[in-house]
Structure 1
Amino acid sequence: MKDDNHKNCVIHTEELSKIYDEGAVPVKAVNNVHLHIEKGEFTALVGPSGSGKTTLLNLLGGLDTPTSGKVWIHGKDLSTLSKNKLIDFRLHNIGFVFQAYNLIPVLTARENIEFVMLLQKESKKERKDRIEQLLKETGLEDQGDKKPSELSGGQQQRVAVARALASKPQFVLADEPTANLDSKTAGNLLDMMAKLNKDEGMTFIFSTHDQRVIDRARRVITLVDGAISNDEVRDTNKVTT
């Protein structure tokens, strides 16, 4: 890794590419991406549909394997990890927020949030305290015992965010976190994440089409045909709650 002097580096990539070769013509979903994400960034990946945003997000989170190039997280080369070690590494370092929520339908909101901490083998007290804190922060104090089917889309998305934060991750990867949410719900969700970013220095990377997310981002990275076409760093005081 060539950025040893960057002590606050969370993610670093070099010549990162992902090629899908399932049809007659290979598709470069991610094309030779060099990226450096510092701790505490509030960054949006933007671009037209098919530009590679979600694929890049999945590569950064170790959910997909690059065709070529490298991803380092806190200096750890993901390609050197076995499947089981990669799963464990993601569990303790990365929070994921998926567009489809991916909540476990038979579990309550409280149990969905707790699930990742059970995998981490946190104590019962730590789990209980963290769950109550996250339910309060997400405005779900009175919804903890409801299952996903009993919650609105916005409430389910807030549970998904709380679950992502439960593990106290190094950073959060959020794929279209405000998709299909009304303006008020989306605004509340973004307020919460911006507050965590400001108060706790938590790093957020969004894949998004939503102008509401883009307007709040302090860094906007534009992808076209899998490659970075523009990387704009904005006023560091931009994110407010």
Structure 2
Amino acid sequence: MGTHNHQTIQPHNHTAMTIIEIKELFKTYNDSEVEVHAVNGVDLNIEEGEFTAIVGPSGSGKTTLLNMLGGLDQPTSGNIRIDDTDLGKLKSSQLIDFRMKNIGFVFQSYNLIPVLTAKENVEFVMHLQGRPKKEREARTMQLLEAVGLKGREDSRPSKLSGGQQQRVAVARALASKPKFVLADEPTANLDSKSTENLLNIMEELNKQEKITFIFSTHDQRVVNKAHRVITLEDGKIISDNRKK
């Protein structure tokens, strides 16, 4: 009696909440008569508070997968649910709004607004969200301090080193209190010391604020820090390892 579903029971930490659910995800490009499956039938769940690296050779589909997770690119088929929202069902205006409220982005090229100071760059998303000035300022200063840039809040990007600009980008990604942060090769342009600093900061934020980080990376230093490593090859997941 009641043993028929026995095989579905897996040892699992049930306190963790799945925040991203990807089912049967495909992204196909028709490139000069040849179909390229950039993402080829991916099923994946990401839980709240994960610190996950997606790795694989160039062309394995890492960035494409990240862009679809961030709603920057549409799947050819399959679906992505974030909490209870099916990204595929959102109109483009709803998607922009959803992204702004729920997802933080960190790119390898920093993408800071050159005419704005560090503080203004971090505040920008909260400004768009219509948060009150006091709240914006308090959160911005808290984040700049968290990323080790207290005292540099009035510096423009051109006056900051690459590592400092990337830390501003991390603070900006976190400003909106997103459900998760997508970081695409965030250490690609950084030296070892800056990379180590940045990773320590992100790991600390992950622990303290329970912020979920998903990296796509070639960088072994990021892989060493990650708590879960997902390897893609030809658009398919070939391994998925959680570190104890």
Pick from 137, 140, 144 the counterpart of residue 146 of structure 2: 137
- SS at 2:34 equivalent: coil
Q: Within 2, Cα distance between the matches of 1:83 and 1:24?
A: 29
Q: Which has the larger radius of gyration?
A: 2
Tell me which of 100, 103, 106 is aligned to 2:112. Answer: 103
CA distance 1:190–1:130, shift in 2 (3 Å): same
Q: 2:237 aligns with which of 228, 233, 239?
A: 228
The percentage of counterpart residues that share the same residue type is: 65
TM-score using structure 1 length: 0.93
**Cα shift at 1:7:** 7.0
Give how far 1:6 is off. 8.8
Matches of 1:137 and 1:201 in 2, distance apart?
14
> Is 1:21 matched up with 2:33?
no
Equivalent position SS for 1:86: helix
Tell me the TM-score normalised to structure 2 length: 0.92
Work out whether 1:189 is the aligned partner of 2:198: yes
Distance in 2 between residues matched to 1:201 and 1:152, nearest whole Å: 28
Aligned length: 231
2:82 matched to which residue of 1? 73
Which 4+ residue blocks in structure 1 deviate beyond 2 angstroms?
none
1:52 aligns to 2:66 (yes or no): no
Shift in alpha-carbon separation, 1:117–1:6, aligned structure 2, 3 A: same
Instruction: Note the C-alpha offset of 1:147.
Output: 1.3
Number of the residue aligned with 1:239: none
Shift of 1:22: 3.0
Q: For the residues of structure 2 that align with 1:200 and 1:231, how far apart are their CA atoms?
A: 25
Instruction: Give ranges in structure 2 of 5+ residues lacking alignment.
Output: 1-13
* Residue number in structure 2 paired with 1:167: 176
The Cα shift of 1:216 comes to 1.0
What amino acid does structure 1 have at the position aligned with 2:81? Answer: W
Is the 2:166–2:186 Cα contact (8 Å) retained in structure 1? yes
Amino acid at match of 1:164: A
Q: Which residue of 1 aligns with 2:123?
A: 114
| Secondary structure at the counterpart of residue 38 of structure 2 | strand
Answering whether residue 73 of structure 2 is matched by residue 64 of structure 1, we say yes
- In 1, are the aligned partners of 2:109 and 2:189 still within 8 Å (CA)? no
Consecutive unaligned residues of structure 1, counting only runs of 5 or more, are: 236-241
Quote the residue 1:83 is aligned against.
92
Larger CA deviation: 176-185 vs 68-77: 176-185
Query: For residue 37 of structure 2, what is the amino acid of its counterpart?
Result: K
Counterparts in 2 of 1:67 and 1:6: CA distance versus 1, 3 Å: farther
* Inter-partner Cα distance in structure 1 for 2:199 and 2:15: 28
Paired position in structure 2 for 1:238: none
Partner of 2:223: 214
Over the aligned positions, Cα root-mean-square deviation in angstroms equals: 1.2
Shift of 1:144: 1.2
Indicate how the Cα distance of structure 1 residues 73 and 225 shifts in structure 2: closer, same or farther if over 3 A, else same.
same
C-alpha offsets along residues 132-181 of structure 1, whole Å, 9 cap, x if unaligned?
11111111112211111121111111111110000010000000111121
